[in-house]
Structure 1
């Protein structure tokens, strides 16, 4: 498979190493200093593009992939306001787009555990719930996209919480998400239910970027030749 890598920071390099080891060919590498390479002609050489950049550039990068009719796997977070537009355009023009806030297989299983626990705790009002996420200091957005996915899942079920804030909250109907930036943490997410009697907590801790990178390559392999809007739930059949 021929892959275009849009974004060639630490994650892009990790994806490069895993994809190359699996026998795929990287036909285009675009970093912050080589945006001029993001043309229809060069993108068109690829079977699929993998996009890990910044919230400010992801939208335009995905549009360029659509223009080149190249399926795109996008792992950039922090641009949720533009996602509905991208998904609608993808469906209308029969492109292929797969977006995930986290490509780790373990995290996607963690999402399913989070939904199950939230359903169980929805009828237990004696428990308050809060969240914490820890990432390296280069992480651009806070809360992380993974934390927002966890929060959305929780809020959909635990109706005594009506919204979230990215700080300690003294309001019983507001979910508190605490974001910490500590090097070299690749990513830790915890959801904790607390009562006067006990605590129940679930945590996912990443040990390296490899899990995210491997999941992105798996997603690219799965997306090749398809049309539509997809997530890691589709890839992993969850």
Structure 2
């Protein structure tokens, strides 16, 4: 397959590397080559099986509008744009495009989401909090992953009030901790990413999966189907 990777940052570059390792062709576009999605024309996009976006909250919406309007298949690892999700979903469905989005493409984090739900059901009377630490160049805070964890907890028990604490330090790939505390004890669930490789691997597998498909999916809905 041939993939277009939007974003030449650390994660985007690693996505391109992983795609090459899995036998795919890759073209990478940085912001300077694609300001306001200027490079994402219909003839250009027609040559790719899927587009993978790891850019910024500011760049992702113009990129999505251009890709989906031209019927492309897009995997979005960028976070901080979900206030526009319903608009993008509608555009994808109108144009018979494909959109697969997720706050975190790590298999381990997806497991954390499932365990968090079970914890919220098991100890609904406990007080819950989330702490997350990422690299200093990450622009959105709280992280999309932390917000998803909060949504999972509150979907399991709407009475739960969850506080999120965010830190930006050095080159941290991602640390998320869920704490459930009572007057008598404390339970912690922690996921620590040692590198960005897990995110990149999941994103490439997602691109392989969405190639040729029309529709809109959250990554958690398809993870069990990935190769």
TM-score w.r.t. structure 2 length?
0.93
Corresponding residue of 1:7: 7
Corresponding residue of 2:25: 25
Structure 2 gap ranges (5+): none
Corresponding residue of 2:150: 151
Please state whether the residue corresponding to 2:58 is helix, strand or coil: coil
Please state whether the residue corresponding to 2:119 is helix, strand or coil: helix
Shift of 1:8: 1.4
1:183 aligns with 2:183: no
RMSD, matched Cα: 1.3
Shift of 1:139: 0.6
1:197 aligns with 2:184: yes
Which has more helix, going by share of residues?
2
- When the two structures are aligned, how many residues end up with a matched partner? 222
1:141 aligns with 2:143: no
CA deviations over 1:95-153 (Å, ceiling 9, x no partner): 1100000001111111111111111122xx2x211110010101100000000000011
- Counterpart-to-counterpart distance in 1, 2:91 and 2:77: 18
- Counterpart-to-counterpart distance in 2, 1:43 and 1:159: 42
- Counterpart-to-counterpart distance in 2, 1:129 and 1:118: 9
Bigger shift: residues 12-21 or 38-47: 38-47
The 4+ residue runs of structure 1 with deviation greater than 3 A are none
Structure 1 gap ranges (5+): 162-173
Corresponding residue of 1:99: 101
CA deviations over 1:32-88 (Å, ceiling 9, x no partner): 111143322222210100011111121110111123321000111111110111012
The answer as to whether partners of 2:102 and 2:220 remain within 8 angstroms in 1 is: no
